[in-house]
Structure 1
């Protein structure tokens, strides 16, 4: 398993629209084959920055999602609201403390 963290920076006036759309697709993303976990976070100091945090079985599962019609629709909608280029990291968990 590995973790995917994506940093998205939005025009402030577009955030409600983005969040409303996310509500309509979040279950489909979460239930995509190979996805085990999905959360979204908002930066405390800059409310225009939102992060997604997802856990995938394998890199191929993420790639399958990234080539799916679902991702193409979500990304086409989402990227029109950005005010900066998104950033993404694929990371392996080193430690987890209860």
Structure 2
């Protein structure tokens, strides 16, 4: 199981656009083969900072998504809203 965490800093005046974009594609991403869940977390102090958290069956499933037509629609649209470079990390659960 791979947990992917991506920190996104969004232009302050584009936060509503970002949330709408995530809402539009969340269920499509969640249904992608190998995806167990995907959610959006908002920073409690910096209202334009978000984290996407997704869980994948394997690194191969995550990479298949990153090479997919769906990602090819979602990521370019999201990049237009950035105020800073995103930070992404993948983790494996070690202790439950």
Q: TM-score, normalised by structure 2?
A: 0.96
Q: 3-state DSSP class of the match of 1:17?
A: helix
- 2:27 maps to 27
Q: 1:94 offset after TM fit, Å? A: 2.2
How far is 1:29 from its partner?
A: 0.3
Please state whether the residue corresponding to 2:39 is helix, strand or coil. Answer: strand
Question: 8 Å contact 2:26–2:39 — kept in the other structure?
Answer: no
Which 4+ residue blocks in structure 1 deviate beyond 6 angstroms? none
Q: Any idea what the Cα deviations from partners look like across 1:48-90, whole Å, max 9, x if unmatched? A: 1100011100001011000111001100100000010000010
After superposition, the CA RMSD in angstroms is 0.8
Q: Report whether the alignment pairs 1:62 with 2:34.
A: no
Task: Determine the C-alpha separation between the residues in 2 that align with 1:70 and 1:9.
Answer: 22
Question: Structure 1 regions of 5+ residues with no counterpart?
Answer: none
Give the number of equivalent residue pairs.
Answer: 96
